[in-house]
Amino acid sequence: ETGVTQSPTHLIKTRGQQVTLRCSSQSGHNTVSWYQQALGQGPQFIFQYYREEENGRGNFPPRFSGLQFPNYSSELNVTALERDDSALYLCASSQLAGRIDTQYFGPGTRLTVL
Amino acid sequence: QQPVQSPQAVILREGEDAVINCSSSKALYSVHWYRQKHGEAPVFLMILLKGGEQKGHEKISASFNEKKQQSSLYLTASQLSYSGTYFCGTDSNQGGKLIFGQGTELSVKP
């Protein structure tokens, strides 16, 4: 157990809808990173939040957006869902941004887009 | 750019050893190793930092060749619990934004 929690566990949506995924970071961690993991692939970096500000973004379109709250929990929002968005969405928390630190993953949210 | 892992898959008998390699075309500040079992989250194993510092699992070792931008994970006297997919994540800009390889699937048989 890493202390990182995510909700919901599973989600089914249809194309064009939007979705919000939630992540609670481990106690004492102020950085949350989001990853998308397609079946049979490694996690792909979406973006990172540090102290409520976006601190780096991967190669994902603007319809992927996020928030981080004062308690360091975070949300990932995806609008205009496409079938290719079907994946396991992982969040990982760490203690500090801008330095090398271990990232601890939550259990993930499995999103299916029909 | 995504690091390249090799082999893609390996099958072992209990007690055998394995080496998983991770190679990047970019200069690296750190390499992070994770194991993921089917349907579960990746679990942290080891972090290797530029300059030689390591942090991680007692029973698993790894190396980091900074000149070649390569890392290797050594699994010795494998146990059934070692089965899973191993990922290396590389950090090129010291910002914790990990780029993961495609994974190495390890199966340990009794």
Greatest Cα-to-Cα distance within chain B, rounded to the nearest angstrom = 42
> What pLDDT, on a 0 to 100 scale, did the predictor assign at position A36?
98
Is A99–B96 a contact, with Cβ atoms under 8 angstroms apart? Answer: yes
Nearest to B42 among A40, A43, A94 (CB): A43
**Cβ atoms B76, B23 nearer than 8 A:** no
Q: How far is B17 from chain A (nearest CA, A)?
A: 24
Other Cβ atoms less than 10 A from the Cβ of A71: the count is 9
Chain A to chain B, count of Cβ pairs less than 8 Å apart?
Answer: 70
Q: Could you read off the pLDDT of A46-89 as tens digits, one per residue?
A: 999 998 999 889 999 999 999 999 999 999 999 999 999 999 99
Q: Could you read off the pLDDT of B60-105 as tens digits, one per residue?
A: 889 898 888 999 999 988 999 999 999 999 988 767 789 999 999 9
Is B2–A42 a contact, with Cβ atoms under 8 angstroms apart? Answer: yes
> What pLDDT, on a 0 to 100 scale, did the predictor assign at position B94?
67
Helix and strand element counts for chain B (H, E): 0, 11
Of A88, A84, A89, give the one whose Cα is nearest residue A114: A84
Is B95–A55 a contact, with Cβ atoms under 8 angstroms apart? Answer: yes
**Does any CB of chain A come closer than 8 Å to the CB of residue B44?**
yes
